[in-house]
Amino acid sequence: MSESSSVLSQSALWRRLGLAHHNWPGRFTVLLMAILLFLTTQPIFSQHDFAENVVSVSISLVLLSALYAFRATRIYFVFALILIVPSLGGRIALLFTSSPTIEFVSAISSCLFLAVTVIALISRLFIVRSVTLDTISAGICAYLLTAVAFSYAFAVVELRHPSSFSAALFERTAGNVAPLVASLHNFIYYSFVCLTTTGFGDIVPISQGARSLSVMESVFGQLYVAILIARLVSLQVAESMMKEQ
């Protein structure tokens, strides 16, 4: 009776879900919620007048949630802190002015920040010994953030070499709304098409840089599912078999 109650206790439940003690309330789960909020608000508010404010707030939540998730990892935290300053600063500046230089710097810093976060997430997935809800959230975060990081990389290519894609991904809007802020959802859409190798064909990379990035993302997407997800599944199966013995 006591053993059963300990298994069903609240602390044991939180620990099983990966949300106990210093990990509460689930740092990777918090990051996942921020990413999902960002991805869902992008298309919904893309045509509204206050779209740039929504985009800025949602992407800022993603960046800050990533810092929170790896706050105990000193090396990552230092690099991420250096990259997040121009990323957030550029995002705030783009709310008041449309400058190609600020867009370029903001896009590069955001891309690098997200790339560092993906590397930190994947590194953690390779060292875990048990699968919890928070571990699964980390795996999903790495996959989704890869697409967002590549979307910024595609934006950098388009900013540097206009007409790198068959479709006009940058939307020119009236007022001071920066094209990158107004058009980020287009790059995210194309990035997920590459990552999942869906290949609708409505957007085609034309420049050499756009083609190279598209191939890299497509290959990464396939390897991620084949290696990282397979590892998590094997860990879960091994853990279940050990408990049955």
Q: Is 171 exposed, middle or buried (0-12, 13-18, 19+ CB in 10 A)?
A: middle
Q: Are 155 and 184 in contact (CB under 8 A)?
A: yes
Structural domain contains residue 1: no
Structural domain contains residue 226: yes
Between 9 and 115, the higher pLDDT residue: 115
pTM of the model: 0.84
Structural domain contains residue 137: yes
Structural domain contains residue 147: yes
pLDDT band at 173 (very low <50, low <70, confident <90, very high): low
Q: What average pLDDT score do residues 137-157 get?
A: 95
Whole-angstrom distance, CA of residue 131 vs CA of residue 196: 24
Structural domain contains residue 92: yes
DSSP type of residue 165: B
List the domain range (segments joined by +) for residue 178.
24-244
Q: Are 178 and 103 in contact (CB under 8 A)?
A: yes
Count structural domains, the chain.
1
Whole-angstrom distance, CA of residue 133 vs CA of residue 215: 31
Between 208 and 23, the higher pLDDT residue: 208
Cis peptide bond N-terminal to 205, omega within 30 = no
Tokens for 1?
A: 């009776």
- Sign of the Cα pseudo-torsion (50, 27, 84, 147, in order): negative
Q: Is 97 exposed, middle or buried (0-12, 13-18, 19+ CB in 10 A)?
A: exposed
Evaluate if residue 139 carries a pLDDT over 60. yes
Structural domain contains residue 50: yes
Maximum pairwise Cα distance, the chain: 69
Q: Which CATH number characterizes residue 181's domain?
A: 1.10.287.70
Q: What average pLDDT score do residues 99-103 get?
A: 86
Question: Any bridge partners for residue 205, and if so which?
Answer: 165
CA 55 to chain CA mean position, Å: 14
Structural domain contains residue 203: yes
Structural domain contains residue 35: yes
What pLDDT sits at residue 191? 96
pLDDT band at 6 (very low <50, low <70, confident <90, very high): very low
- Least trusted range by pLDDT, from 26-40, 131-145, 190-204, 223-237: 223-237
Whole-angstrom distance, CA of residue 79 vs CA of residue 95: 25
What pLDDT sits at residue 7? 46
